[in-house]
Structure 1
Amino acid sequence: MINLNGIRNLFPHLKIRMNHEKQQNMVVQYTFVIADEKQVINYSVRPKKLDTIKSLEKLEKEIINICRMLTDYYAKKKG
């Protein structure tokens, strides 16, 4: 899977967690929940789309971009 701890270390002010939904003992969906004090973003992906290393790298970049977006939005709003 992806390096969630590394992403958490990059964005310590955000709460990042991963949930998975199972049906008949098989994971059918992963949901990444990214939150700060004001906003929560849910990003869902099906395991079928995570079948290559390249797709996992793409997912990791997507989550980092969401974290950056949240961080930049509130940095601009405060400053």
Structure 2
Amino acid sequence: MEGITKHVQTEVDENLYNMLRIIALRKRMSLKEVMREALKRYVELESEKLEDDIKKDPIWKIIGKGKLDPHASQDETWGLVEWPE
């Protein structure tokens, strides 16, 4: 594992725990290794879905459609938010 590691602790029901132990025994791995592998695979799957969702986000269709004043960033009030009193 690269970089800084973090400890994660959670509860699982007895059926899930038993299945994880069986997998660990069958693969001759520790329960920790099986859990890490399962989490890694889950994150890989979810990452793919997240990337697809991001690509489908309608915001990408409007980027580049508007026009900006080339001198706007030189204006002292540019980017200031007016808060209601």
Measured against the shorter chain, the TM-score band is 0.3 to 0.5
Larger radius of gyration: 2
Higher relative contact order (CA 8 A, sep 6+): 1
More strand by share: 1
More helix by share: 2
